[in-house]
């Protein structure tokens, strides 16, 4: 982990023409700021946000969970309520480990949605030329971070789900990760995944648990900024676009995708893009620079498949709008 890429969100200040930030210094398992604020590092992943205490109150299960055998983890949730915190954690990890690493999982995913659910998007990204610094907002269990590392000197991955980041850290470190694959309800079977040649040395990747709408990162520093299938998972898609724009260096590129599967539990109606055609609205926002600090030239646009295996009998199948654009 490179701590000088991470800034203190608590004392960051904005003026009319600049943003003043302080980078954090690592001391053991803590990142500390000159302002006195301190942020914990758990299993190699720092938790850095304005109000970490509030986050920890709601997500403490995923932060302090023990590394249990797949058999014991499955027994802890079997027969219990589907919405219990640990059951939700196992379900989330099953869905996203299968989607992002299904082509490297043993045994391979079965049923609807089996295979490599993120494959069509990853194929687009792996073709990009090499850059110095890349980052992904909403990196989950790390497959796109690994892909970005094949064409970048250093990659930063940020996500709000600590349980996913903990697994991403292990996979990217080259460890064999055992996990529970959901069969049906609260019944699971053991599986494992290994990155193989996609493992990334720890000095080339930084993972951060933080808020994509307020990332603790140095602005205007990234040659490539990626946010996949995140626009419909945050309370303000326009604010996310502003964040992406703020992180991207002039001349850099942004890579976005979304199925625009809006949910009222995530955002209100007036926050959603583009009415019946959000893809056209997103393209127009980028071209015209509406609400952004710059205009963008769209260099690639496509409709791609994305599949999430939920269990052995069900899957979510999306058509996502993919766009890659250059900051002018």
Across residues 301-325, what is the average pLDDT?
A: 97
Sequence length of the chain is: 328
- What confidence tens digit (pLDDT) does each residue in 115-159 have? 899 999 999 999 999 999 999 999 999 999 999 999 999 999 999
Mind giving me the DSSP string for 252-301?
EEEEEEE-----TTTS-GGGSSSTT-HHHHHHHHHHHTTTSSS-EEEEEE
Inter-residue contact 302 to 124 (CB < 8 Å) = yes
β partners of residue 181: 189
pLDDT averaged over the chain?
A: 95
pLDDT at 311: 96
CATH number of the domain residue 75 falls in: 3.40.50.150
Q: 1: pLDDT confidence band, cut at 50, 70 and 90?
A: low
| Domain that includes residue 76, residue range | 3-327
Task: Look at residue 67 and tell me whether its pLDDT is greater than 90.
Answer: no
Across residues 250-269, what is the average pLDDT?
A: 96
Bigger pLDDT: 60 or 207?
207
Q: How far apart are CA 317 and CA 203, in angstroms?
A: 36
- What confidence tens digit (pLDDT) does each residue in 72-91 have? 999 999 999 999 999 999 99
Cα 147 to chain centroid, rounded = 13
β partners of residue 179: 191
- What confidence tens digit (pLDDT) does each residue in 223-232 have? 999 999 999 9
Counting the structural domains of the chain, the total is 1
Q: How far apart are CA 230 and CA 254, in angstroms?
A: 13
β partners of residue 178: 192
pLDDT at 168: 97
3-state SS record for 129-186 = CCEEEEEEECCCCCHHHHHHHCCEEEEEEEECCHHHHHHHHHHHCCCCEEEEEEEECC
**CB neighbours (10 Å) of residue 207?**
26
pLDDT at 155: 98
pLDDT at 3: 67
pLDDT at 93: 97
Across residues 7-18, what is the average pLDDT?
A: 83
**CB neighbours (10 Å) of residue 262?**
18
- What confidence tens digit (pLDDT) does each residue in 18-32 have? 778 889 999 999 999
Stretch (H or E) spanning 27: strand 25-27
pLDDT at 223: 98
Across residues 31-59, what is the average pLDDT?
A: 92
């Amino acid at each position: 982990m490179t701590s000088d890429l991470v800034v203190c969100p608590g004392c960051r200040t904005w003026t009319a023409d600049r943003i003043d930030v302080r980078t954090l210094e690592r001391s053991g398992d803590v990142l500390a700021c000159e302002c006195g604020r301190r942020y914990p590092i758990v299993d190699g992943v720092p938790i850095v946000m304005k109000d970490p205490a509030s986050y920890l109150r709601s997500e403490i299960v995923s932060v302090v969970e023990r590394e249990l055998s797949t058999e014991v983890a499955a027994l802890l949730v079997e027969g219990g309520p589907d919405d219990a915190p640990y059951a939700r954690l196992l379900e989330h990890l099953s869905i996203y480990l299968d989607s992002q690493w299904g082509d490297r999982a043993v045994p391979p995913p079965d049923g609807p949605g089996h295979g490599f659910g993120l494959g069509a998007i990853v194929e687009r990204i792996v073709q990009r030329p090499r850059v110095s610094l890349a980052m992904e907002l909403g990196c989950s269990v790390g497959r796109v971070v690994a892909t970005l590392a094949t064409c970048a000197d250093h990659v930063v991955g940020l996500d709000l789900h600590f349980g996913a980041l903990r697994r991403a850290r292990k996979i990217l470190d080259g460890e064999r990760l055992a996990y529970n694959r959901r069969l049906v309800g609260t019944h699971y079977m053991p599986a494992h995944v290994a990155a193989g040649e996609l493992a990334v040395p720890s000095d080339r990747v930084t993972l951060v648990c933080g808020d994509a709408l307020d990332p603790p990162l140095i602005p205007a520093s990234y040659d490539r900024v990626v946010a996949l299938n995140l626009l419909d998972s945050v309370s303000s898609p326009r604010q996310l676009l502003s964040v992406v724009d703020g992180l991207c260096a002039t001349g850099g590129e942004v890579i976005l995708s979304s199925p625009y599967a809006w949910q009222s539990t995530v955002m209100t109606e007036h926050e959603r893009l583009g009415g019946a055609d959000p893809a056209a609205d997103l393209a127009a926002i980028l071209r015209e620079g509406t609400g952004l600090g710059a205009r963008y030239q769209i260099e690639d646009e496509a409709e791609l498949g994305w599949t999430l295996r939920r269990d052995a009998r069900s899957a979510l199948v999306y058509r996502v709008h993919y766009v890659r654009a250059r900051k002018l």
